[in-house]
Amino acid sequence: MARFAMLIDASRCTGCNACRIACQMQWQLPPARYYNRLEHNEKGTYPNTKWEITPIQCMHCDNPPCRDVCPTGATYKRTDGLVLIDGKKCIGCKYCMVACPYGVRQINDDGIPEKCRFCAEYIIEGKMPPCVSTCMNEVRIFGDLDDPESKISKLMARKAVYQLLPEKGTRPRIFYVRK
């Protein structure tokens, strides 16, 4: 069974938002709704400052707090690592939104707190999520961590990586390249 994850090299990100726009176009989201975002932070002390851009989306955690608080089981985790939502079971309580330390859920027109789903429909067909295939700078690498020949496995074997908010114990499936 595959164990899907994403590696993000934020140092390669130019802030063009192609990843966000590709996702919005694919899922026909209105401009104010998005499943991934770019956080811009100023680092350093004047006059030696620079912008640091960090792509953020659902982390598809191994220990997802959104799943644990869902009273109906609408949020669930597949064996391949994807954290998904069954809209038919969702009652719109928004507990998942409160539990997520990454703030990645967006309410859709039906009142369901949607989020990135790693484009489950695509990866089953062997395709890349649009946020990955659209990026001109190869900021995002998606693949199977259980496949030692996959690009993500090879890169993670030679690069120092980290995860966001490790103190939360969520064990995200999105890894970032340490600078």
Nearest to 99 by CA among 59, 69, 75: 69
CA distance 150 to 135: 19
Q: For residue 48, which phi and psi values (nearest 5 degrees)?
A: -100, 70
The answer to whether the CB of 141 falls within 8 A of the CB of 127 is no
CA distance 7 to 9: 7
Q: pLDDT tens string for the chain (179 positions)?
A: 789 999 999 999 999 999 999 999 999 999 999 999 999 999 899 999 988 999 999 999 999 999 999 999 999 999 999 999 999 999 999 999 999 999 999 999 999 999 999 999 988 898 999 999 999 999 999 999 999 999 999 999 999 999 999 999 999 999 999 87
List the CATH code of the domain at 4-177: 3.30.70.20
User: Any residues with CB less than 8 A from the CB of 15 and at least 6 apart, and which?
Assistant: 38, 40, 51, 53
Q: For residue 131, which phi and psi values (nearest 5 degrees)?
A: -65, -30
